Amino acid sequence: MTNQLAAMDSLFANTAEMVAGHTNANVAVRRSGSSSELLTLFLLAAMGNPGFDRDAGRNLGISGDKKPSEKNDTPEVSKTLLRVLLAALRSYDPYIYTHSQRVALLATGIANKLGWSETQQRELEVAALLHDFGKISVPQHILNKPGRLNSIEREIISRHLYNGTCLLRAVHIPVSIVNMIVDAERAQIMKNLIRNVSQYGTSIGSRILSVADAYDSLRCNQVYRSGKSHADVMQILEEQSTTRFDSSVVSALKRWVEEDATPRMIYENETSQEIPPETTGDKLETVLAERNIHQIMQYLVCLDEHYSGFYLVDHKMDIVLWSQGMHQITGKPADELIQTDWKPELLNYFNEKRKRIGLEDQAMLLAHSTKKSVLSTYYRMNDHEQLDEYEVQSLPILNEKNQLLGVLEILFNQEKVRNAGGDEMQQLKLAATRDALTKIPNRGELETRLQAMWQQFDKRGSKEIFSAIFLDVDYFKSINDSHGHAVGDRVLIDLARLLEAETYSGEIVGRYGGEEFVVLCPNTDLDMAVQKANRFRLAIEHASIGGLPHAAVTSSFGVAQIEKGDVVSDVVRRADKALYQAKETGRNRVCSLTRQEQDLDLVDVSKQKAKHAESFVYEQKLTACTSSDMIIYKLRAFLEANQAVLKDADSEHVRMRVGRAGLLSGWGKAPERQPVELLLQFQKGTRKQGAHNVAEIQVTVKPVEKPPTVAKFQTRAAQVVRSLREYLAVT
């Protein structure tokens, strides 16, 4: 177990190194001996085989409880293996996992109405549970895109689905089950290209899968739309039964849903669509296995993206994996080759003199016999009778006992990668402008777009007005603290999806940082932008964001319009100030700010600063949504994050110092070199404010070293108090 943990802890570092190495086309995969991803794959694939190392398998949550027949005719799947595969799917995307469970229930119900035997229903059930397995490691912004996929996104999905079905074949999921999944995927891809998809050479099992999948997707709530009623969904399916769906399958579904209470209960009870809690019986070994499956998928995708092709054989020289790239190079598809013997004729390698490579010089066989990596240069004849040069690396996969499990062979063609480089560069440029979590434009891209919009306004004036909407998730830190960072991340992803679904007039939605988002609205004045912001606010309030109940997630909004004489920073500053006002005045609301209003506000601030000019004191009363006792615990996090020093504390007050003077003392230029003392005085007891118990806190800030001006002290004090507010969930 220790060795497995160590291997997995180093995996992501190895993957990062591999990706960096692949940016130089002449650098081969820097792996020798064993690979933790492929080692796991072989442990999965070897399940039930006579030579299976059961102790090693148990370390990954895998057991050989069901031995597949040699001809793989009986659809027997190891229950433990199935549990591990589904755990991996759940771990990557719980929503896809629960969707697969409902599709399995629907599919078996349809099959029962069509007179299928229990064995056939069991086979269909496994296919339904695994029909989305290939989506593991698909980027979340593609999985969750509310609109139509573009060509690059469709290609990414296609690659992942291909690798997923190859992996299922590699771990001995029966061919009949995999074929059902593949046929359903093919029908989905071809639906816009072929008029009568329901008759496009697909099995009845795949047609059942397609109908069950569509029914559940339409019935369930999505972030960007509510689930439809049974009657509405059936109308859609029946309308498309001559072009996309099998009419007999649709009729069977209708009879089953209307005659059986089970499917009605699923969709009438909203909690059935929520993610169920983890079962207490889950073992650490299973968790390790699902992590490894994620890593296998990531590893295969990485090889697929950076090399011309790759394939894998086991120690018996049977083909285990055959990539899409190998299909393109050789013209031979994976479904014809997986679990068949490797032969040199599959590759038809030549040397530079057009002489065929002999058996004794095959890199694959050399790596197999010597257990050492082999790097070779081979040639293949293309359709024009010309030689294409390939760098070929053959990597032996060894277990901890130095036993050979198989060999990975990777092909790299410099010229083809160079020709495809434009697309890769385009994807890299696109990635550089996207937020890593939500995949919407990041802060840098927002600033670029904002600058371009200002330039148009500067040239054309009122003909090119625009507005900026800033929004912030209310009490986001409390969401993270109460539900965990995984739910917090999901909240941000779902919020991005909802905003994209609610914008349809050329707006640009981006993540500004943390839980703050920005919507840039071209050709939009302040009144229109405020109306849009209120529409966004209500949509968020009434949606189920991050799997949380309705109204559990709300947002505050600040709106500003570009005005004559503004530079970019002016509109940003006003929108940010308006957002601050929305949070100060109760949250879950929209505030706007014009230049005139901002100027008046600055006058008020100046008067407030002048009031304390002699004493250098900053005071503010805060209302925290928690008890006085809990405030002490929350302050610990503030102390650590700001490297503050606690001076004294009791049930009535806390005194701390934030920041420290430099070597020469005095008031520094950087905030951390501007030391201030905070005194927090707690009023006794709490009071009710809406649904929350709140506590009153009087905050007093004084400088430790004398600041050069009152204004600089006030700025520093306000910054410290703003930071404090975030930790105390202040209203």
Find the Cα–Cα–Cα–Cα dihedral 416, 420, 422, 426, rounded to 10°: -150
How far, in Å, CA of 109 to CA of 574, rounded?
58
Q: Which residues of the chain form CATH 3.30.70.270?
A: 433-610
How many angstroms separate the first and last alpha carbons of the chain?
Answer: 48
- Is the separation of the CB atoms in 504 and 618 below 8 Å? no
pLDDT at 630: 66
Helix (H) or strand (E) holding 185: helix 175-190
- Is the separation of the CB atoms in 183 and 202 below 8 Å? yes
pLDDT at 191 over 70: no
Helix (H) or strand (E) holding 561: strand 555-561
pLDDT at 288: 52
pLDDT at 714: 84
CATH of 94-275, one of 1.10.340.30, 1.10.510.10, 1.10.3210.10, 1.10.10.10: 1.10.3210.10
Give all strands of the β-sheet with 466-473 in edge-to-edge order.
508-513, 516-522, 466-473, 555-561, 590-592
Residues 6+ apart with CB under 8 A from 385: none
Closest CA to 680 of 724, 710, 633: 724
Closest CA to 699 of 612, 620, 615, 616: 620
Q: Specify the 3-state DSSP secondary structure of 707.
A: coil
pLDDT at 129: 93
In 583-709, where do the E strands start and end? Answer: 590-592, 618-624, 645-649, 653-658, 676-682, 687-689, 692-703
Cα 427 from chain centre: 17
How far, in Å, CA of 85 to CA of 292, rounded?
10
Residue predicted with more confidence, 575 or 169:
575
**Cα→Cα distances 320→168, 652, 661, Å:** 10, 69, 64
Residue type, 696: E
Residue predicted with more confidence, 75 or 707:
707
Q: Which residues of the chain form CATH 1.10.3210.10?
A: 94-275
pLDDT at 124: 93
Average pLDDT over residues 182-208: 61
How far, in Å, CA of 161 to CA of 245, rounded?
21
Superfamily covering domain 307-421: PAS domain (3.30.450.20)
- Is the separation of the CB atoms in 90 and 192 below 8 Å? no
Q: Which residues of the chain form CATH 3.30.450.20?
A: 307-421
pLDDT at 81: 80
Per DSSP, 665 falls in state -
Phi, psi of 278 (to 5 degrees): -60, 140
pLDDT at 128 over 80: yes
pLDDT at 66 over 70: no
Average pLDDT over residues 248-263: 86
pLDDT at 723 over 70: yes
The CATH architecture of the domain made up of 433-610 is 2-Layer Sandwich (3.30)
pLDDT at 470: 97
How far, in Å, CA of 347 to CA of 47, rounded?
29
Cα 539 from chain centre: 22
pLDDT at 389: 92
Structure tokens belonging to residue 186: 């093919």
- Is the separation of the CB atoms in 117 and 274 below 8 Å? no
pLDDT at 45 over 60: yes
pLDDT at 69: 40
97-101, 526-530, 667-671: which has the minimum mean pLDDT? Answer: 667-671
- Is the separation of the CB atoms in 554 and 548 below 8 Å? no
pLDDT at 204 over 60: yes
CATH of 614-728, one of 3.30.310.80, 3.40.50.1860, 3.30.530.20, 2.60.40.1180: 3.30.310.80
pLDDT in tens, 565-586: 899 889 999 999 999 989 888 8
- Mean pLDDT of all residues in the chain? 77
Range list of H helices, 52-150: 54-59, 79-92, 94-113, 118-130, 140-143
Find the Cα–Cα–Cα–Cα dihedral 677, 683, 688, 694, rounded to 10°: 20
Per DSSP, 547 falls in state G
Q: What is the maximum alpha-carbon separation in the chain?
A: 93
pLDDT in tens, 262-275: 777 777 665 444 44
What is the residue-wise DSSP string for 364-406?
HHHHHHH-S-EEEEEEEE-TTS-EEEEEEEEEEEE-TT--EEE
Average pLDDT over residues 85-99: 84
pLDDT in tens, 559-568: 999 998 899 8
How far, in Å, CA of 537 to CA of 177, rounded?
45
Percent of the chain with pLDDT strictly greater than 70: 75
Using pLDDT thresholds of 50, 70 and 90, give the confidence band for residue 664.
low
Using pLDDT thresholds of 50, 70 and 90, give the confidence band for residue 707.
confident
pLDDT at 68: 38
Q: Specify the 3-state DSSP secondary structure of 246.
A: coil
Residue predicted with more confidence, 682 or 579:
579
Residue predicted with more confidence, 399 or 208:
208
**191 class by beta-carbon count within 10 Å (0-12 exposed, 13-18 middle, 19+ buried):** middle
Residue predicted with more confidence, 721 or 47:
721
pLDDT at 290: 58
pLDDT at 181: 87
